[in-house]
Each structure stands twice: as C-alpha cells, then as structure tokens.
Amino acid sequence: MQYFFTSLDYATVALIAAIITLVIAYLILKILVSVVKHDLLRRRVPTALVGILTTILSALFWYFVIMAILSTLPGFDDMVLAMGIIFAFFILAIGLATSGVLKELVSGAFLVTDQDFGAGFRVKAGGIEGVVESVDIRKSRIRDSSGNLHILPNSVVEPNEWTVYERQNEKH
C-alpha cells in the first residue's frame, strides 16, 4: 500500500512539473517567435516566408519540449527513443522532398530584398533580356522586347550573374 502512495505522490509531482514546464515553454516560445518575427520583418523577408519559418520554429520547439517532459517520466524511455528515430526519418523525408522548393524560397528571399533586381529594372537574367515585371518568393517575371513574358524560377536567376541595364529610378 505504501508503494502505491509513493508512486501516486511521484505521479502528482511529475504532472505538476509537466504543467509548469509547459507554461514556461509557452511563454519562452511567445518571446522567441516575437523576436524572430520582428528580426525577419526588419530584414524585409517576405511575410509568407516569415510565417512558414515561425511555424517550423514553433513545431520544433514543442517537439523538443514534449520529448524533454516524456524523458523525465519513468517508463517512457523507449517511447522517447522511438520518437527521436521517427523525427530523424521525418526530417530526412521532408528535406529530400522539399529540397527544390527550399532552394526556390531561399533564392526568392534573396531576390525580393536585392536592390539590384526588382520590378521595372531592365536586365539580362537567366539568358533572358527584358524588363522585370515582378519578383515573388518563387518566380521572377521578365518581359522581353517582343512582348513575351518569361517566368523564371528564382533558383535560375539568384545563383547566377545578371546584368542590370537600367534601374526603375534611373529612367529618363
């Protein structure tokens, strides 16, 4: 009978500690997301990308908080190990599946904030010469002198050299 009360006392303390940990983690995450979001927006990273990055940050943070809580509870060691292995495979699968998309997003983030490439500029990029109509997180749109609209993936433009013939604010 005494073992039951001892384990019941331990379970109560563990539950209270888990709740306190969750509350503190929530507060830390709110501050962390706020700081990261503010910094990314200050650096003129597109809002859509900021949302994606803060969501990923939040998910990773909660995953590790839950892993930490479970690892302190008796009998959950195997579960924590299994969750760690599953997480590793999940990240590997996501990395392989989204490598092209991530390349586009990173290139787009750089191009959107680049002062040498923007709407209204006359450029030669990706083998196309014309006026940049728009640049978004994944694609750049360039209209050539014949009126054809070329839509280029940002991963074609950003890592390569481009020539700026005329900036929007330099037009005569």
**Is the pLDDT reported for residue 54 higher than 60?**
yes
The residues near 50 (Cβ < 8 Å, ≥ 6 apart) are: 37, 40, 41
Q: Tens digit of pLDDT for each residue in 28-51?
A: 999 999 999 999 888 888 787 788
Q: Give the rounded percent of residues in the chain with a pLDDT score beyond 70.
A: 93
> Distance (Å, rounded) from C-alpha 23 to C-alpha 63?
15
Higher pLDDT, 160 or 130: 130
Q: What tokens were used for 163?
A: 């020539």
Produce one character per residue of 94-126: b if its CB has 16 or more CB atoms within 10 Å, e if not.
eeeeeeeeeebbbbbbebbeeeebbeebbbebb
Q: Tens digit of pLDDT for each residue in 81-120?
A: 888 888 888 888 887 777 777 777 778 778 877 888 888 8
Where do the DSSP E strands lie in the chain? 122-125, 128-135, 139-143, 149-153, 163-166
Model-level pTM?
0.53
What CATH number does the domain located at 122-170 have? 2.30.30.60
Q: Where, residue-wise, is CATH 2.30.30.60 in the chain?
A: 122-170
Residue 61's nearest CA partner among 24, 93, 89 is: 24
Average confidence score pLDDT of the chain: 83
**Is the pLDDT reported for residue 172 higher than 60?**
no
> Distance (Å, rounded) from C-alpha 95 to C-alpha 90?
8
Q: Confidence class of residue 170 from pLDDT cuts 50, 70 and 90? A: low
Q: Where, residue-wise, is CATH 1.10.287.1260 in the chain?
A: 2-113
Quickly name the fold that domain 2-113 has. Helix Hairpins (1.10.287)
Q: Confidence class of residue 149 from pLDDT cuts 50, 70 and 90? A: very high
What's the DSSP call for residue 169? G
C-alpha distances in Å from residue 131, one per residue of 7, 115, 118, 122: 73, 15, 9, 4
Question: Residue 4: what pLDDT?
Answer: 44
Question: Residue 107: what pLDDT?
Answer: 81
Phi and psi based region of residue 8 (left: phi greater than 0; alpha: psi -120 to 50; beta: remaining) = alpha
